[in-house]
Amino acid sequence: MAEKKPLNFQWAVNHGIAEEMRRDPSVFIVGEDVGKPGGPFGVTRGIIDEFGAERAVDTPISEGAIVGLCCGAAAAGLRPVAEIMFMNFITLCVEEFYNQASKMRWMFGGQVKQPFVVRAMTAGGFGAGPHHSSSLEGWFASMPGMKVVMPSNPVTAKGLMKAAIRDDNPVLYVEPLASYKMKMMMPEGDYITPIGKAQVVKEGSDITVVSIGRMLAEAEKAAGALEKDGIKAEVIDLLTVNPFDMDTIYESVKKTNRCVIIHEAKKIMGCGAEIAASLQENMFDWLDAPVARVAAPFTHIAFQPALEKHYLPDAEKLVAKVKEMVA
């Protein structure tokens, strides 16, 4: 029996896709260089060798055509998994997402489904500059009919990919490039990470920290530092940006009476604002302090490393905000 080894983020995504392709012959991958090259970062390596070119479809450089193909194939009963590379490039296919995929089930009275996944990478912390590092999940979370997931580690990366492929709605699957080399031991057997369900990854009693995507690592680091100072932070991994799991957050805030949200996207109009508004509307009597956000400033991310570090939220900034709130 082969020795069980940890998987990094890339291979976790790869295994999730390949397992679903074996389980369901209607699943196929599509995008620029997803076939023989295995994608720009090797996430789809080996898939064409096992499943052939009919289920590992290379395309021209046309993001609109890729997502348009997904809309048509999904309407016809297939389950495409597309790669758009960097999230910035997804701006070239907003028409297909917003005016077609997100609306099709409504426009046809539920008779037509849109079961497809689009993978897109964020590159904050990777030094990729403003054309490759944007976090635009909030754009798509605001579209009725769309689902948006942001795995935080290899275990949730594989589980959310499998859940996304099985979902009957279009799912934007956001991968953090800076986390690609993170390794973890994987659960045994066929598992999924449910869409729309957050996870409490660390229990605490003094403050609730809601993290989105790769910010989980920063939240866990901050929680460890705070514990040394006697502050017990409860850390929640949101996992799904749309639909939000507000119930898990509400239950936590009933216990801690404080909440701070950390995400890589800009603070203004970011997803943390919607969480904060929901807490204000529904949990006001439980709050002992205003809901806070640790997020990027309202400007474009820099290429220069020191400026990029200053721009991005991190554990140090989170610790400072929490201490301010519990003082």
Q: pLDDT digit string (tens) for 199-250?
A: 999 999 999 999 999 999 999 999 999 999 999 999 999 999 999 999 999 9
pLDDT of residue 1: 39
pLDDT of residue 190: 93
How many other C-beta atoms lie within 10 A of the C-beta of residue 285? 6
What is the tally of helices (H) and strands (E) in the chain?
Answer: 12, 14
> 220-237 burial, b for 16+ CB within 10 Å, e for fewer?
bebbebbeeeebebbbbb
pLDDT of residue 126: 80
- The answer to whether 192 touches 221, Cβ cutoff 8 Å, is no
Give yes or no for residue 3 having a pLDDT over 90: no
The CA distances from residue 76 to 69, 117, 236, 270, in Å, are 11, 15, 38, 35
- The residue annotated as part of the active site, out of 132, 263, 300, 310, is 132
- Listed in sequence order, the residues at least 6 apart from 304 whose beta carbon sits closer than 8 Å to its beta carbon are none
Token pair for 257: 């009476």
Q: Whole-model pTM above 0.85?
A: yes
Tell me the average pLDDT across 144-171.
97
Tell me the average pLDDT across 153-171.
97
Give yes or no for residue 8 having a pLDDT over 50: yes
Among the listed ranges 102-106, 124-128, 142-146, which one has the minimum average pLDDT value? 124-128
Token pair for 303: 């290429």
User: Using alpha carbons only, how large is the chain's radius of gyration in Å?
Assistant: 20
- The answer to whether 134 touches 301, Cβ cutoff 8 Å, is yes
What would the DSSP string read from start to end of 107-158? HTTTSS----EEEEEE-TTTT--TTT----HHHHHTSTT-EEE---SHHHHH
Q: How far apart are CA 327 and CA 111, in angstroms?
A: 55
The mean pLDDT of the chain is: 95
Give yes or no for residue 129 having a pLDDT over 90: no
Which three-class secondary structure state does DSSP give residue 181? coil
* Structural domains present in the chain: 7-184 (3.40.50.970), 199-326 (3.40.50.920)
Position 4 confidence tier, pLDDT thresholds 50, 70, 90: confident
Position 327 confidence tier, pLDDT thresholds 50, 70, 90: confident
Tell me the average pLDDT across 184-213.
96
Catalytic, 132? Answer: yes
- The answer to whether 136 touches 90, Cβ cutoff 8 Å, is yes
Tell me the average pLDDT across 299-308.
90
- The answer to whether 315 touches 282, Cβ cutoff 8 Å, is no
pLDDT of residue 133: 85
pLDDT in tens, 243-284: 999 999 999 999 999 999 999 999 999 999 999 999 999 999
- β-strands 56-58, 7-8 pairing: unpaired
Give yes or no for residue 58 having a pLDDT over 70: yes
Give yes or no for residue 184 having a pLDDT over 90: yes
Strand order in the sheet with 240-242: 56-58, 27-31, 79-86, 117-122, 171-176, 147-149, 240-242
Among the listed ranges 12-16, 121-125, 240-244, which one has the minimum average pLDDT value? 121-125
